[in-house]
Amino acid sequence: MIVLKSPQEIAVMREANQIVAELLQELKARAVPGVSTRELDEIAERFIRKKKAKCAFKGYRGYPNCLCTSVNDVIVHGLPSSAELREGDILSIDCGVYYKGFYGDAAITVPIGRVSERAQRLIQTTRECLHLAIERMVEGNRLSDISHAIQTCAEKEGFSVVRDFVGHGIGRQLHEDPQVPNYGQAGTGIRLKTGMVLAIEPMVNEGHWGVRILKDGWTAVTEDGSLSAHFEHSVAITDNGPLVLSEGI
């Protein structure tokens, strides 16, 4: 069942998502060679506590950390560790918070120092996919118009979109209906309505879309070892068009 949110609820969800946006901004500045993803996770924990919010991922289905930190061929759900970031890596940082009864969820992929041109192109394309998807979030459009925009944008650059993970509704639960695949034909699925809030999260691989899960049960990597990027925004559909609740990253 899809839960529609009132303007008041959307305002609170914006507050939750602004905590995420501010934190991701800070983590982006701190993600440099020599820093470990565990250090970033500790910064996130402290920041979220100071804002009187809670880490949404920690404890979710047993997830052990506050952030997901996914380096290079890790697509999503990378576990923070003592391994240091190195010049040339790309790092996806995914963060969720719980605040005043609602969830916020967003992700970015950042270069560590100088990165290759193809890595830059992958990051840029994935960000572009998210923005084109958000433009489709207008009342009356269909759910798959979002999915189709993402797939088209990634594939025109010769990249592929991950099938095994999807975007989602968000609100009083981290994951609500509907699921939002990052691929599909335009013009099918439910009609978009004012009051829907969706977390749109394209995951784009440089090579094939195949996924493998490591033995830790979480870390999702590209089957072919190619690079992967991930961007996510929580977005409300309003009478004035899409409102990016986590904007400002």
Under the rule (CB under 6 A), what is the footprint of ligand MF3? Answer: 57, 60-61, 63, 68, 77, 94, 105, 107, 168, 199, 201, 232
d(CA 130, CA 125): 9
CB of 158 to ligand MF3, least distance (A): 25
d(CA 171, CA 152): 28
Count of Cβ atoms closer than 10 Å to residue 119 Cβ: 20
Count of Cβ atoms closer than 10 Å to residue 64 Cβ: 12
The option from ligand MF3, Co ion, none interacting with 57 (CB < 5 to 8 A, set by class) reads ligand MF3
CA atoms within 13 A on the CB side of 129: 35
The option from ligand MF3, Co ion, none interacting with 63 (CB < 5 to 8 A, set by class) reads ligand MF3
Decide: 94 and 76 in contact? Cβ < 8 Å.
yes
Q: Of 59 and 241, which CB lies nearer to ligand MF3 in the complex structure?
A: 59
d(CA 206, CA 230): 12
Q: Of 85 and 93, which CB lies nearer to ligand MF3 in the complex structure?
A: 93
Q: Of 106 and 192, which CB lies nearer to Co ion in the complex structure?
A: 106
CB of 68 to ligand MF3, least distance (A): 5
Residue 57 to residues 41, 95, 186, Cα–Cα distance (Å):
12, 8, 32
Residues 84-123 that bind Co ion (CB under 5 A): 105
**Who's near 103: CB < 8 A, 6+ residues apart?**
13, 16, 56, 96, 97, 170, 171, 172, 173, 174
Q: Of 206 and 232, which CB lies nearer to ligand MF3 in the complex structure?
A: 232
CB of 103 to ligand MF3, least distance (A): 9
Residues 181-240 that bind Co ion (CB under 5 A): 199
Q: Of 5 and 156, which CB lies nearer to ligand MF3 in the complex structure?
A: 5
Contacts with Co ion by CB under 5 A lie at 105, 199
